[in-house]
Amino acid sequence: MDGKQVKYTNCNICLAACGMEVVTEDNRVVKINGDKNHPLSKGYLCIKGKAMAEYQSDELRVTSPYQKVNGEWKQIGWKEAYRKITARLKHIIEKHGPRSTAMYFGGGIPLSSAAPGAAASFLKGMGSDRFYNVLTLEFTNRYLAFQKMYGKQFRVSQADIPKTDCLLIFGHNPLVSLDHPGIKEEIRGLSKRGAKMIVVDPRLTETAKVADTHIQIEPGKDLFLLEGMIHHIMAKKMYDAEFLEKHTVNSEFFTNTPS
């Protein structure tokens, strides 16, 4: 359809799935804004989302398969590309077995209702179970902690900011990443009720700018800072011994920390 139109959708770059107001003209995306009426993002859209209009119109966008021949890239047809990929995969599987193939997808694909299932089915059809995604890089430690704490890996923990007296944030910028609905209002409400927010981050992020204290450590030193804090808490007996005894195991390892 020709002419200028405004359409509404959501960004699929990351799991925040921010609302988007997309302006099209003659079936071409000309501008993208945040959707102010979106119930979660409420008009916010990061620079990556705003730049998505360029994905469609950029002169360097790849719209067909290429093959490198004698050091030069040669454009080929889709059917030819499929045949070549099929032959290469078949050769690899016959020589090394089905588990020599694997698949990896990034953070945006889970926002599609069809893509994860199609990808998993394709991999299963080749006889492999090596299915990796962004969670294996970013959140493996989180799921291990959930397994230890709750008995199951797939639990979602969320800071109870409205009931928090002191919010300590390490290397995170929730005013931009928008972890959950209403988090902006929750963070801004901390100071209104006398609560404190401490941000530990090498960068002066948007969240650090509104924090009561910004601890600007060197990159990679957060572990040492945490270890020092834990040692100080244990050595000075600044913990709830009854809670530790009731809800944890091997707590004596920490509670016997020398001062």
Class of the CATH-defined domain 161-255: alpha beta
Share of the chain above pLDDT 90, in %: 47
Interval 198-241: pLDDT, tens: 999 999 999 999 999 999 999 999 999 999 998 999 888 898 88
Q: What are phi and psi of 152, to 5 degrees?
A: -140, 145
Class of the CATH-defined domain 4-57: alpha beta
Alpha-carbon distances, residue 254 vs 119, 168, 235 (angstroms): 46, 21, 9
* pLDDT (0 to 100) of residue 83: 96
CA 23, CA 30: separation in Å to the nearest integer? 6
Q: What is the mean pLDDT of the chain?
A: 87
Domain spans, the chain: 4-57, 76-157, 161-255
Chain length of the chain: 259
Residues of the chain with confidence (pLDDT) below 70: 1-2, 107-111, 136, 156, 181, 254-259
* pLDDT (0 to 100) of residue 254: 66
Interval 40-70: pLDDT, tens: 788 888 888 888 888 877 888 888 999 999 9
